[in-house]
Structure 1
Amino acid sequence: MVAVIHQSKSLKNLLNYNEQKLKQGKATCLTAANYPKPVDKLNFHQKLNRLMHQAALNERTKVNAVHISLNFDTTEKIPESMLKKIADSYMEKIGFGKQPYLVYQHKDAGHEHLHIVTTNIKADGKRIELHNLGRNQSEKARKEVEIDFDLVRADSKKLEQAYQVKPVNVQKVVYGKSDTRRAITNVLDGVLNKYRYTSLPELNAVLKQYNVVADRGTDDSRIFQKGGLVYRVLDEVGNKTGVPIKASLIYNNPGLKYLEEKFIENEHLRPPHRRHVKNAIDWILTGNKEKLSLQKLSEALKKESVDIVLRENKEGVIYGITYIDHKNRVVFNGSDLGKAYSAKGLLERLQYSPPDKKVEPVKQKQKHTQSIKPDVPHESNHHSGWISSEPISNTSQRSLLELLTDPNHSPSFVPYELTKDVHRKKKKKKKKR
C-alpha cells in the first residue's frame, strides 16, 4: 500500500473534487466517519458543513484541509467492507481517528485506491501537526496496515515502480478534458510537494520532463491579467496541445498563490543540497585531462541523477542553464550555484563552440544600431532544449522539449548611456551645418 498526503487551505475544493467523481460515476463514498448521519443520508452541503464547522474552531490555522490517497497493488481486489476497515485503521494510527472524515473509493485507474478528505483541527480547537506526518506517522501506519490486512508491501520494487511519476501519454489525453485533468493531476502529485523550486521556470523545468507545463498566458491575455494559471499537456516536440486545465479545477488548487508560498518555503530548503550538484560537476570536469563536450558532461551527470536543462535563443546560443537534482529533488539555476556553474561559466570549462552567427550586410541608410529588447519572462520567444537523465521516469525516447524562459534573463543590448552619446554627437554635427 502506498499512502500520499496533501495539505490544502480549501476543504471545499477537496470535497468538490471527490464529489465530481461521484457524479460522474467514477467514485463511491464509502464512509462518513464521525458524522451525525450515515453516509447515504448526507448531501454535499452537509458533508462540507461538518468539516467547515470543526475547521472554524481554529481561525489562526490557514492550512486546515487534508487529502489522503491510499493506493493498492494492481493484483489486489479488495471488497468495500475491507476497504472501510483499512481506511479506519490507517486514520486511527496516524492520529485522525476522532476527526470527521470522508472516504471515497475511486474507480478511474487501473488499481484500487481510496481518497480521504478531513481536517487537522480537533474538536477542542487544537491542530494536529502536519509537518513530517507522511514521513513519520503515515509510514509507520502503512507498514502496520499492510501486515494487519495482508496487503502487498510497498517496499517491493514492483509497487515502488508502479507509483513513480510518468510522462503524460499525449495521444491518450489530448481529446478529453477529464482524461487531461487526471493525467496532469498525477504528474503534479509527484512533483509539487516533492521537489524544491523557487520560481515558475524552475518548476516547469521539472514538469516538462513529464509533458506538462504551468502556463500564465501572454501579458495581454485575460488569464494573465487576472492572476490565473492553467496547466497544459505538451506534445512530443514541446508544443502545447489539448485542453488547458485551470488550476482551480485541480483538487488542491495549485494556482499562483499556492506556488508563491512554495517558492518562499523552498528557498530555505534548497541550500544544503547545492554542494551535491557542484561537487558532481567539479569531480567530472577535474577527473578528465581534456575538456569534455556538453553532451559528455550531461551523460556523466546522469549517473549522479542530475539533469541539465538548457535555454537557447533563436540562433541556438545558450544563455541559461538549470540543474535538476533528482536525488535530493531540488532545482537550481546555474547562477544560484556560482559564476562557474552559470551557462557562460560552465561553457568556458567545456569543449564548446557557439553556432555561427549570420552577418547581415549593413544598409547605407542605417544611421545607428537598435537595442535588442529584453525577453518578456512569461512569453517565451526562444527555442530551448534539455539534456535529461531518467532517475524516476523513462525519457530516453522523447524529443527535446521547449523550456520556459528565465524571468531574470535579459540579453545583452546597447547600453542607454552609449546611445545618448551617439545622439548627442549627431546633434552637434547638425548644428555646425
Structure 2
Amino acid sequence: MVARIVSGKSIRGMLSYNEQKVSEGNATILLASGFATDIENLNLFQKIGRFNQLTKLNTRSKTNAMHISLSFHKDDKLDNERFQQIAAEYMERIGLGDQPFIAYRHFDTDHPHLHIATTSIRRNGERVKTQSIGSSLSEPARIELEKKYNLVQAKGRSLKNDPYLRVAEYGSKPTKRQIANITQSVVRDYTFTSFQEYKAVLSLFKVLANRGEENTQMFKNNGLLYSIMDNNGNPVGVPIKASSIYKGVTIQALEKCYDLNKEKRKTKKDDLKRRIDNVIQKYHLISTKTFQNELAAEQIALIYRRNNEGLLYGLTFVDHKNLTVFNGSALGKEYSAASISHMISGQDELKTYLKKPLSMNISLQAERSSAPLNATILESLSIKDEPDPIMKTHRKRKKKKGKNPTQNLGL
C-alpha cells in the first residue's frame, strides 16, 4: 500500500475532482463519516458546506484541505467492504478519525486505489499539524495495515512496475478523460516551479503541454493545448484546450502554484541529492541509458532536455518518492547538465573497490610486519555498450598517469 497526503487550499477543488470522477463513472463513494445524513442525499454544494462549517472556525489558515490517496498493488484483491475497513482504520491511525471525510474508490488506473477528502481544521478551530504526519503517523499506519490485511508491501516496490498514474494511450479511452486525469493529478500531487518542470512530468505519462511559440498569439494570450503523445514523442489526435478541463490546468492556474511549490519542495531537496549521489559515486563514466535506469531504481526519473540540434542543454529530475521536480541547476552546480556531461560516455565505467586476497596480505605482513594491512584498489571494470548518440561530439577523457583512482569525481 502506498499512502500520499497532499495539503491544499481548496475544499471545493478537492471535492469537485472526485465528484467529477463519480459522474464520469470512474469512481464511486465508498464511505462517508461525520455527516448528519446519508452521503447519497447530499449534492456537491452541501458536501462543501459540511467542510466549511469547520474551515470557518479558522480563517487564518489558508491551507485547510487534505487529499489522501491510498494505492494498492494490482495483486491485492480488495472488495468494497475491505476498502471501507482500510479507509476507516487508516484515518483513525493518523489521528483523523473524528474529522468528517469522504472516501472514493477510483477505477482510472490499473491498480486499486482510493481517495479520501477531508479538512485539516478540527472542531475546536485548531489546525492539524501536517508537517510530519507522513513519517510519524502515516508510515506506521501503512505498515500495520499491510500486515493486518496481508497486502503487498510498498517498501521496495519498483515505480517502473507499479506506476502511480496510468500512461496515456491514444484510443484506449476518450482523449479528454485521459488528459484531464493525468494533468489534474500532476497539479495536485507534484511540486513543480515552472512550466518546463510541469511539462517534464507530463511527458513521463505521454502527455504533451504546448503553449505555442513565443511570438504567436496563442502564447501571448496564455493559451495552452494538451495532446497525447506516441512512442516517439509526437502529438496524436485532436489537442484539448486547457480551459475545457475543469479548473486547475490552465496557464493562469499553473502560475499560482510556482511560488507555493518552491517553499513546499525545499525540505525534499537534500534527500533527492543524496539518492542522485548514490548513483554518481559508483561510476567514473556512465551512459545516458544506464544513468536513467540507475536513477529509476532510486525512484527518480531523469529527463534530458535537448535543443533542435539534439545537443544536451539541461536535466530535469522528477522525484516520484517525494513528488518533487527539480532542474539539475536548481539542485546545485554539480547536478547541472554542464557538470554531469563530463561523466556521460558511450560506455559505463564502474568504480570497483575490492580487498586484497588473504594470501597477499599474509605475504606483505611477513615482509613488513610493522606496516598495517591496506586494501588494494583494482582497476575499474569497463562495461562495453553501444555508443551513446548524445555524446557524438564528446571526446572520451584519457586517464592521466599517476592519477589516484580513488579520487572523487569533480562534478
Does structure 2 conserve the Cα–Cα contact (< 8 Å) formed by 1:29 and 1:104? yes
Mapped partners of 2:79, 2:209: distance in 1: 38
Aligned to 1:301: 291
Shift of 1:16: 1.2
Q: Equivalent residues in 2 for 1:163-312 (5 A)?
A: 163-165=162-164, 168-172=167-171, 175-185=174-184, 192-193=190-191, 198-219=193-214, 224-225=219-220, 231-242=226-237, 243-244=239-240, 246=242, 249=245, 255-267=254-266, 269-270=268-269, 273-274=272-273, 277=276, 281=280, 284-285=283-284, 296-299=286-289, 301-302=291-292, 304-305=294-295, 309-312=303-306
Secondary structure in structure 2 of the residue aligned to 1:255: helix
Cα deviations by residue, 1:185-223 (Å, 9 ceiling, x for unpaired): 56667x715xxx543324434442332344444446677
- The code of the aligned residue for 1:270 comes to K
Shift of 1:123: 1.0
Unaligned runs of 5+ in 2: 347-388, 391-411
Shift of 1:177: 1.3
Aligned to 2:106: 106
Aligned to 2:2: 2
Mapped partners of 1:187, 1:35: distance in 2: 30
Secondary structure in structure 1 of the residue aligned to 2:57: coil
Does structure 2 conserve the Cα–Cα contact (< 8 Å) formed by 1:167 and 1:187? no
Shift of 1:320: 1.3
Aligned to 1:356: none
Cα deviations by residue, 1:238-260 (Å, 9 ceiling, x for unpaired): 22344436389468767221233
Change in 2 beyond 3 A, CA 1:212/1:23: closer
- The code of the aligned residue for 2:308 comes to K
Change in 2 beyond 3 A, CA 1:333/1:76: closer
**Structure-1-length-normalised TM-score:** 0.63
Mapped partners of 1:257, 1:273: distance in 2: 24
Secondary structure in structure 2 of the residue aligned to 1:37: coil
Mapped partners of 2:183, 2:223: distance in 1: 17
Shift of 1:42: 1.6
- The code of the aligned residue for 1:69 comes to S
Change in 2 beyond 3 A, CA 1:330/1:57: same
Does structure 2 conserve the Cα–Cα contact (< 8 Å) formed by 1:17 and 1:251? no
Mapped partners of 2:18, 2:50: distance in 1: 16
Q: Does 1:321 align with 2:314?
A: yes
Shift of 1:81: 3.8
Does structure 2 conserve the Cα–Cα contact (< 8 Å) formed by 1:248 and 1:255? no
Does structure 1 conserve the Cα–Cα contact (< 8 Å) formed by 2:58 and 2:125? yes
- The code of the aligned residue for 1:320 comes to Y
Secondary structure in structure 2 of the residue aligned to 1:87: helix
Change in 2 beyond 3 A, CA 1:278/1:174: same
Secondary structure in structure 1 of the residue aligned to 2:102: strand
Does structure 2 conserve the Cα–Cα contact (< 8 Å) formed by 1:166 and 1:187? no
Secondary structure in structure 2 of the residue aligned to 1:22: helix
Shift of 1:122: 0.5
Aligned to 1:123: 123
Aligned to 1:416: none
Aligned to 1:21: 21
Cα RMSD (Å): 4.1
> Which has the higher relative contact order, 1 or 2, with Cα contacts under 8 A spaced 6 or more apart?
1
Does structure 2 conserve the Cα–Cα contact (< 8 Å) formed by 1:325 and 1:331? yes
Shift of 1:69: 2.3
Quote the sequence identity (%).
Answer: 30
Secondary structure in structure 1 of the residue aligned to 2:204: helix
Mapped partners of 2:60, 2:258: distance in 1: 21
Mapped partners of 1:120, 1:252: distance in 2: 21
Mapped partners of 2:330, 2:82: distance in 1: 53
Secondary structure in structure 2 of the residue aligned to 1:68: strand
Q: Equivalent residues in 2 for 1:410-425 (5 A)?
A: none
- The code of the aligned residue for 2:240 comes to P
Q: Equivalent residues in 2 for 1:144-163 (5 A)?
A: 144-148=144-148, 150-155=149-154, 163=162
1:332 to 316, 327, 335: 327
Secondary structure in structure 1 of the residue aligned to 2:262: helix
- The code of the aligned residue for 2:196 comes to P
Aligned to 1:415: none
Mapped partners of 2:267, 2:27: distance in 1: 39
Change in 2 beyond 3 A, CA 1:217/1:119: farther
- The code of the aligned residue for 1:301 comes to F
**Structure-2-length-normalised TM-score:** 0.66
Cα deviations by residue, 1:265-291 (Å, 9 ceiling, x for unpaired): 335643575476578557634xxxxxx
Shift of 1:124: 0.8
Q: Equivalent residues in 2 for 1:71-82 (5 A)?
A: 71-82=71-82
